[in-house]
Amino acid sequence: MEISISQQIIPKDFKYFKQISKKFESNIIPHIGDKITDSFFKDPIEYDVVECIIDYQENKCEIFLSPLSVETESEVNYQVDIAKSHGWETLTGGLNHE
């Protein structure tokens, strides 16, 4: 099954975010509450699965992790660059519309 893991990188002021994603093949399907680790993660080294969407017809599973909180908008971009070097890609980004 194709597994897609997504995570938002959000600064403390929560006015701007970027979403990253990484895909892989696995027969193991994560569940809400499971912890996921990756070479990109340093502190903490694992993140909780907060949402899991399974499409059996397409043989795909989308996993959403708890957000990565950073101090500033520039750190968001720094973390995205590091994530890319670990096989992640940028999906979306935008403004929080609160």
28 pLDDT more than 60: yes
Task: Identify which has the larger pLDDT, 92 or 19.
Answer: 19
Handedness of CA 55, 1, 50, 86 (dihedral sign): negative
Estimate to the nearest angstrom the gap between the alpha carbon of 49 and the chain centroid.
10
pLDDT score for 17: 87
* Three-class SS state of 82: helix
36 pLDDT more than 60: yes
Would you call 44 exposed, middle or buried from its count of C-beta atoms within 10 A (0-12, 13-18, 19+)?
A: exposed
